Amino acid sequence: MRPFPFVRSATLAVLALLTSACATSMRLPKDFLLLEHCDDLRAVTGDDARIWARELEDENEAPLAFWAAAVEHDLVEQRGYELVAKGEIEGKRSAAGVWLECAVNVRGERIGYLLGLWVRGHEVRVVEFTARAEVFAARVDDVKKALPTVRW
């Protein structure tokens, strides 16, 4: 018999609480190092590709279609990004979402930008991936494959 069976139960309860307190999780693509994970998920590669995942609140509970149109308008019309492609995210464990792939010039350098977006009630989940054009091109397919692994 174990002398303190409640210790094991308490430890499991604390671990469950800590895990549930961390908002966004996803399976990171190869070579990404997890830097932070609780309020935000941030990861980076040795060639400076970056992933940032976070959750935002929307008191109005606007639907996914609204957010997708608003983000696309902001990126393309307001910030001057070039929309390269867009598509849907269908996850087995996560809600359906959309992705936008863009490119922009920053200080004379071409930068790739991918945004994944999900909405559930008042929660808006965002995953951003960015890198210099050549690094972005080499990694974007792996990041797109990881988007359906985003969990709430």
Domains of the chain: 23-149 (3.40.1000.10)
Map residue 44 onto helix, strand or coil: strand
- Taking CA atoms, 128 is separated from 91, 104, 108, 120, in Å, by 17, 14, 21, 18
Determine if the pTM surpasses 0.85.
Answer: no
Q: Say how far apart CA 67 and CA 90 lie, in whole Å.
A: 17
pLDDT tens-place string over residues 66-116: 999 999 999 999 999 999 999 999 876 667 899 999 999 999 999 999 999
Q: Say how far apart CA 90 and CA 10 lie, in whole Å.
A: 36
